[in-house]
Structure 1
Amino acid sequence: MTSAHIPGLTALTLGTSPLGRDTVPGSAAEDEAVATAIALLRSGDFVDTANMYAGGRSEEVLGIALGELGAEEREEAANRIITKVDRDLETGVLDGDRVRRSYEESLTRLGLDRVRYLHLHDPYLTPFAEASGAGGSIEAMVSLREEGLTDVIGIAAGRVPVVAQYVATGAFDLLLLHNRLTLVDQSATGLMTEAKDRGMTVFNAAPFGGDLLAKGSVAGTSYAYRPVSDELRAWTARAEEVVARHGVPLAAVALQFSLRSELVDSTVVGISSPARLDEARALAAWAIPDAVWGEIEELGAAPTPVHDEREPVL
């Protein structure tokens, strides 16, 4: 994979939002999380985390894992870590000062002096006028790059109308959207196209939409943190019939829908264990007959539960 902003970017980026969740330092559960982190860091793939993931434990566990690697291996792995600055979880503030504090917190947890790739994450609680004004988060992100404290900056969120405002500034090198370019929902197409036209590197996260496209139409699955309607469950069941006729799993088709897109430079997949990493690699490599894509398209547009234009920004 080639990227003007991230040399050697891998087709899969390994997401760590659940890493270390509900673990405490020195526990057996933490040891298990560290073992997973070491497997991710040694995978050769890029690794995606954030200040807020698992209440900061995701970065802390990655930091412990980095400390267990040899010097050369540690440096190489550190160069493949992408993290995100987040709002203060108590106050909701995400201004310029908070951007810098968030970054400093992340570096402390990771045990690093800097990371090369840094996203501004989920700026939903901050009016765009504040984010783009003097002392705002965009100015701070640009300053971090100009000061050499990071190399590449991005905007990472889900709601397309919100993210579009940040892309339009031209300030960012990277775009990460989630749950908006899948078998079920392609509402990111226009914004991703604009980002590519601007020369941005595009990440597509959550290709399974949560668990709907991983587990299928069984009861209890969700899409993009939302309940699945009867209509969407029925559409998914028809998609399952298509892939079953060709002997391929729905999850493989869902993942490769993103991997084969010309709009996507890397697909972010959440990984909770070494076994999950092996499973993701197997799904990515699964041979899918060309006919599958045509038959999925013939099902028509899925009744997506995502309607960003109807949702409040705050």
Structure 2
Amino acid sequence: MTGTTTARTTGPQGTPGRVTLGQGLEVSALGLGCMGMAEGYGPADAREAVATIRQAVRSGVDFVDTAYMYGGGRSEELVGEALAGLSPAERDRLVLATKCGLLRTATGVRIDGRPEHIRKAVDESLARLGTDHIDLYYLHRVDPEVPVEESIGAMAEHVKAGKVRHLGISEAAADTLRRAHATHPMAALQSEYSLCTRGPEETVLPVCRELGIGFVAWGPLGRGLLTGTLAGAAFGKDDMRSILPRFSAEALRANLEVVGRIGEFAARLGCTTAQLSLAWLMAHGVVPVQGAMNRAQFAENAGAAAVRLDAAALAELESLAPAGSFVGDRFHAPMQATVDR
């Protein structure tokens, strides 16, 4: 992978520095994703989640990412509780991102990109978050039944009303990204991207560079694969990895062999596997939103800010884990069908 989608400035030693996404939106070079605080990876501690969000913001990792979809609003509520304990100056520094258009229902997941849904969803998110504006508002998934121009057009109404400052889109195909950007300038595309998942390099990253759209990577640690801690792990029913192809017994064995090679290289560099994986993304101008569930995980991941990778290190890492090294789809079939539209 060559080139960058963002401009990065280095922060004080041990801090992530700042990155400018599209439309002049400045964020910390490392973000905090809050899905796992509500659901997805086994039991979570709400009090610890709130403490982790506050620690992140106060340490300079003040790009916080959530969505209604995460726990049916529970993640937004936890972020709102954390915000309530911040000072006005801390809230002003915070870049708060949330999403619309992907719903959790009694029968499963439903995509809804209709303008009438989007017009209502923003006020519901603002109420859960306890704030008067959202800094970055994403269309969580593209609705195949609704032209993307209609969905983005409804979101743009919130910008005009002052409820939202910037717009983005998630898991969109390259042509869809162009159409969305033509409707209203996109500050960011958010899609899964990591050493495990390299698809964006072929399609959407070039478009982001061309159009000046920032790239935000969710799942930068491969749902825990790139932490180097999953050997012998068992996934319970409340852990989504129990149904993901990449974490089947056979796939996991193969994938952990690749992680082992990455981990050996990380040890030679004096960092952890997770820190190296995050630093790889940051070295290319991509903003990873790491999904720490507690303060200890956050502190380890934040150490990626101190890892600087030169051209030789990047080339060696590429030789150890080239694109296509990891096996297994990233979603089970119903959700896999919702991406790259």
TM > 0.5 = yes
Comparing 207-216 with 91-100, which one deviates more in the overlay?
Answer: 91-100
Match of 2:12 in 1: none
The reply to whether residue 39 of structure 1 matches residue 46 of structure 2 is no
| Distance of aligned partners of 1:197 and 1:275 in 2 relative to their CA distance in 1, 3 Å threshold | same
Comparing 281-290 with 142-151, which one deviates more in the overlay?
Answer: 281-290
Match of 2:97 in 1: 82
Q: Check the 8 A contact 1:17/1:53 in 2, yes or no.
A: yes
The reply to whether residue 251 of structure 1 matches residue 251 of structure 2 is no
Q: Whole-Å Cα distance in 1 between the matches of residues 90 and 32 of structure 2? A: 17
Match of 1:25 in 2: none
Q: Whole-Å Cα distance in 1 between the matches of residues 118 and 56 of structure 2? A: 26
Q: Whole-Å Cα distance in 2 between the matches of residues 247 and 313 of structure 1? A: 39
Q: Whole-Å Cα distance in 1 between the matches of residues 256 and 52 of structure 2? A: 33
Match of 2:85 in 1: 68
Comparing 106-115 with 236-245, which one deviates more in the overlay?
Answer: 236-245
Comparing 252-261 with 241-250, which one deviates more in the overlay?
Answer: 241-250
Comparing 89-98 with 55-64, which one deviates more in the overlay?
Answer: 89-98
Deviations 1:162-182 (A, max 9, x none): 4324312023413333433x2
* Bigger relative CO (Cα 8 Å, ≥ 6 apart): 2
TM norm structure 1: 0.80
Q: Check the 8 A contact 1:175/1:200 in 2, yes or no.
A: yes
Partner secondary structure for residue 152 of structure 1: strand
Give the % identical residues.
27
Q: CA RMSD in A?
A: 3.2
Deviations 1:38-83 (A, max 9, x none): 223433321111112222122112222222333x235415x52111
Match of 2:176 in 1: 166
Q: Which runs of 5+ in 2 are unaligned?
A: 1-18, 235-240
1:286 shift after superposition = 3.6
| Distance of aligned partners of 1:241 and 1:18 in 2 relative to their CA distance in 1, 3 Å threshold | closer
| Alignment partner of 2:302 out of 274, 278, 281 | 281
Q: Which runs of 5+ in 1 are unaligned?
A: 23-27
Q: Whole-Å Cα distance in 1 between the matches of residues 79 and 338 of structure 2? A: 32
Partner secondary structure for residue 188 of structure 1: helix
1:290 shift after superposition = 6.0
Q: Check the 8 A contact 1:208/1:251 in 2, yes or no.
A: yes
Partner secondary structure for residue 42 of structure 1: helix
Partner secondary structure for residue 68 of structure 2: coil
Q: Whole-Å Cα distance in 2 between the matches of residues 305 and 223 of structure 1? A: 13
| Distance of aligned partners of 1:156 and 1:211 in 2 relative to their CA distance in 1, 3 Å threshold | same
1:40-55 correspondence to structure 2 within 5 Å: 40-44=56-60, 45-55=62-72
Partner secondary structure for residue 234 of structure 1: helix
Q: Aligned pair count?
A: 294
Partner secondary structure for residue 259 of structure 1: helix
TM norm structure 2: 0.74
